[in-house]
Chain A
Amino acid sequence: MTDIMQVEGLCIAFGGLKAVDGVSFTAERNKITTVIGPNGAGKTTLFNLISGALKPSGGRVIIKGKDVTGKGPAALQEAGLARSFQITNLFFEMTVRENLRLAAQRLEPVRQALLPLRRHGRAADKVTALIERFGFAEKAHEIVAALSHGEQRRLEIAMCLASEPQVLMLDEPTQGMSHGDTEDTAQLIRSLTDEVTILLIEHDIGLVMSLSDHVVVMHQGRKLAEGIPAEVRADSAVQAAYFGHG
């Protein structure tokens, strides 16, 4: 089975607004599936429905063959899912290392929750490796609030990886980044497909086209089109709705 996640007809409405309206797609193992669409299309809301932040009013989410619809974020973490946030969501008063340590501690058995931290070698090794890999060696003991925006965005991704998830959801990871940082982040995301399946929301169309294996286009809560990047780019409905001047 190469499908690791199936999303079937997810729905939610806020008041009269159908923010997500019957969206279905599947994510293939170790591939990058990208959700695109204009602002307000419902991409973040779709992520919220999948990651347990919101309960869908209809539809199903299946991860590794298990129905996880309507479960909370903690249960979805357990099921192998990790997500980052469009609006940076970290423990700002803690250091980089402490943030990663928190995210990694689920690697250890819960029955060790009352042993001192220094007894948790696996989580500590994970943190050390992530600090190395994400280039935080110099800043490991900096308070997160003192990091640059780009560094905070990068830490968001590192936090997600700390728990060794199977599905990684990234909500506009390059948002507000400089051109150089965006390029680095793209490189990084590409390198992650050995370990995880990635579900991405991204605005930069160039990046979407070069990174994605599969693209899902959303518009006003609905799925407008899906396919490999070239197909989607050629789709006339997508051009009208999204590329605007197509």
Chain B
Amino acid sequence: MHDRLDISMRANHVFFWILVIVALVFAAFASFSGDVFYLRLATEALILGGLALSIDILLGFTGLLSLGQALYFGIGAYVSALVLREEPSFWLAMGAAGVSVLLAGIAGGLIANRVRGVYFALITFGMAQVVAKVVYNSRELGASDGLIGIPVIEIPLGLITLSAGDPLGFFLLTLVIIALLYSVSAYLLGTPFGRIIIALKANEKRVPYLGYSTWAARMAAYVLAAVIAGLAGALYPMLRGFVSPELLFFATSGDALIMVIVGGAGTLAGAIWGAVILTMLKSVIGSWTEHHLIVIGLIFMSAILFMPKGIVGMLKPFVERNLLRNSARQPKPEPERTAL
């Protein structure tokens, strides 16, 4: 027998693997048919999936509702863009974005973690709006136009060199990076550190008596989420060749939150599924009608009413039951000990 939390995480992995397989099949079809538009769109969906993933760590595991996660996504994107304009190096851009967003996450966490609940949500919202407005009004950062003319970079990956301008290659690279972010998140949630994060959501008041500072645990989760959002954001200018203040706006944070809820909060894989589904829907519905926001809004409302656990959250119990049955069938010499 395994802990429920372990089984739950393994079920998440199943959904993530299905996503990877679907992505690879899609990539094969797209490259055969010579498609560029949908490969680019799918790459964007995965990048937004990284943002959604970071929201899920907070909402689905720590129990914190961030309404301004686009702040870190945007900072990652802008720092990456600024670096790439000076020095078209993938690794430098990712490194600089990672460090900036780590520092920004610490600063933002020090502010937002002074309060709880609704106030936390409002502060995260406020911080993102303030920074977005500052960027919007800074000529050095391209003001409302954003930063354009980011060069198409060559990405050295040891044996091969990949061009960000190659739709298939960059799609696959993004898939690998999102898979890494997913794996790191899933790994950390399976450690004693991760269990404390999960305990915060389950019953924050009990955590101090286990010998842990709830503030420090919340802070760590917040900074982790910021870094994940920022690293995903750093890929954005490589894909689109520009960044704009919209990346920091509430529309971005709110969309990503919808992705998490539609996909299934607390499932990690659901966040990325949600990003893929919503991005595709937006594009498809957008080609039918100008009023795609109304349609998306209606879909979101019905998702909450009829699938409150989200798509992955709804399907997960079936997978968990199977995993439990399989792990029960395997004879274990020392069951209690190997269970952990």
Contacts and interface: CB of A to CB of B under 8 A. Distances in A.
Nearest to B213: A74
A1 interface: no
Contact of B191 (A78, A114, A143): A114
A116 B190 CA distance: 6
A116 B209 CA distance: 22
28 contacts: A74-B208, A74-B211, A77-B211, A82-B209, A91-B199, A91-B202, A92-B202, A92-B203, A94-B198, A97-B339, A98-B5, A102-B210, A103-B210, A105-B195, A108-B192, A113-B191, A114-B191, A114-B192, A114-B193, A115-B191, A116-B190, A117-B191, A117-B340, A118-B338, A120-B192, A124-B340, A128-B337, A163-B210
A199 B28 CA distance: 68
A133 interface: no
Given A93-B202, A124-B340, A77 B210 contact: yes
A125 B336 CA distance: 9
A119 to B, nearest CB: 9
A88 to B, nearest CB: 10
A141 B4 contact: yes
Chain A residues touching B, range = 35 or more
A114 B184 CA distance: 11
B208 A94 contact: no
Contacts of B338: 118
B340 to A, nearest CB: 4
Q: Determine which residue in B4, B198, B209 has the highest number of CB atoms from chain A within 10 A of its CB, and name it.
A: B209
A141 B328 CA distance: 12
A73 interface: yes
Q: What are the nearest 3 A-B pairs in CB distance?
A: A77-B211, A73-B208, A91-B202
A22 interface: no
A116 B202 contact: no
Contact of B206 (A72, A89, A95, A163): A89
A131 B340 CA distance: 14
A118 B211 contact: no
A73 B193 CA distance: 18
B1 interface: yes
